[in-house]
């Protein structure tokens, strides 16, 4: 896999320190599965996290308190049900035919050929993915070859990970494994490259939700 567009330091850092919500993390972790160089950068950040963790100043506790804590730990280990042995991490090489890596594959219940696409109009389809944050929209998009990404208005952050095919916009060409990060300050109109439909994972801040039904109804007309 020839990846040209990677995760920014600040986004990867949020993932490394645990501050990134599930939807964004899904795009980051799926790119990481495909990209050894971003994994290396993540490892460096976690190493920094380890060094900072190691430097935590601890207020001295009484020896008896520490002993008490250790006894509680021992009791817990003695009483714990035996756990299934965790096999040591083993690396299996990529195989042809499996397109979508974990963690995304479990979220969509299989590979992209199993996805129950919903039409968006003009030949484009999407498949919404549920996560625990309602204000983050996560979905697969399938854009017909040579066509623009539909309904492309968003505020806030937008992450796109290409799974199949490619698209181009002002930032360049994005093929399988490539990761694009934009926000509302970037005026871009992605267009799928000719030749093949483009399938990607798109994560955005969800459109603002208004309480009033009338505002909700005219929201699409106002483009907000």
Partner 1 sequence: MISAKVRVRKLEKTVKEPDKEELSACLLAVGARKDIQAFEVLFRHFGPKIRAFMLKRGGNRQQAEELMQETMMMIWNKAALFDPARGSVSSWIFTVARNVRIDAFRKTNRPEFDPNDPAFVPDAEPAADDVYQAGQEADRLRGALVKLPPEQADLLRLSFYEEISHSAIAERMNLPLGTVKSRIRLAFSRLREILGDAA
**CB-based contact 172:186 (threshold 8 Å):** no
Helix (H, G, I), strand (E, B) or coil at 31: helix
Residue 72 or 122: which CB sits closer to partner 1? 72
User: Which of these ranges, 35-43, 117-125, 146-154, 196-204, lies near partner 1 under the rule CB under 8 A?
Assistant: 35-43
> What is the distance between the alpha carbons of residues 16 and 203, in angstroms, rounded to a whole number?
19
128 binds partner 1 (CB under 8 A): no
Instruction: Provide the 3-class DSSP secondary structure of residue 119.
Output: strand
Q: Which stretch binds partner 1 (CB under 8 A): 80-88, 119-127, 199-207, 209-217?
A: 80-88
How does 111-127 read in b/e, with b if 16+ C-beta sit within 10 Å? Answer: ebeebeeeebeeebbbb
> What's the CA gap between 58 and 64, in Å, rounded?
16
Q: List binders of partner 1 among 160-179 (CB under 8 A).
A: 177
Residue 54 in contact with partner 1, rule: CB under 8 A: yes
Q: Which of 99, 215, 217, 224 binds partner 1 (CB under 8 A)?
A: 99
Strands (E), 155-220: 158-164, 167-169, 172-174, 179-182, 191-192, 198-205
State in angstroms the smallest separation of the CB of 157 from partner 1.
9
Per-residue contact flags (x/-) with partner 1 for residues 182 to 211, judged by CB under 8 A: ------------------------------
Cα 37 from Cα 119, distance rounded (Å):
36
Residue 134 binds to partner 1 (criterion: CB under 8 A): no
Q: Is 93 in the site for partner 1 (CB under 8 A)?
A: yes
Q: Which of 62, 64, 79, 91 is close enough to bind partner 1 by CB under 8 A?
A: 91
Near partner 1 by CB under 8 A, which window of 5-13, 139-147, 188-196, 197-205? 5-13
């Amino acid at each position: 896999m020839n990846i040209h567009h990677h995760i920014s330091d600040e986004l990867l850092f949020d993932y490394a320190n645990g501050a990134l919500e599930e939807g964004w993390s899904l795009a980051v972790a799926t790119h990481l599965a495909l990209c050894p160089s971003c994994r290396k950068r993540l490892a460096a950040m976690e190493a920094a996290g380890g060094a900072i963790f190691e430097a935590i100043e601890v207020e001295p506790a009484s020896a008896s308190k520490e002993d008490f804590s250790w006894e509680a730990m021992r009791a817990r280990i003695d009483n714990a049900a035996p756990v299934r042995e965790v096999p040591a991490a083993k690396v299996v090489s990529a195989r042809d035919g499996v397109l979508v890596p974990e963690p995304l594959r479990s979220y969509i219940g299989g590979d992209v050929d199993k996805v129950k696409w919903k039409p968006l109009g003009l030949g484009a389809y999407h498949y919404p993915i549920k996560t625990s944050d309602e204000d983050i929209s996560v979905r697969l998009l399938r854009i017909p070859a040579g066509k623009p990404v539909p309904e492309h208005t968003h505020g806030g952050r937008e992450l796109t990970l290409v799974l199949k095919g490619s698209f181009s916009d002002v930032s360049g060409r994005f093929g399988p494994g490539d990761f694009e990060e934009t926000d509302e300050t970037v005026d871009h109109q992605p267009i799928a490259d000719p030749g093949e439909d483009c399938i990607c994972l798109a994560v955005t801040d969800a459109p603002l939700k208004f309480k009033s039904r009338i505002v909700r109804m005219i929201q699409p007309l106002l483009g907000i």
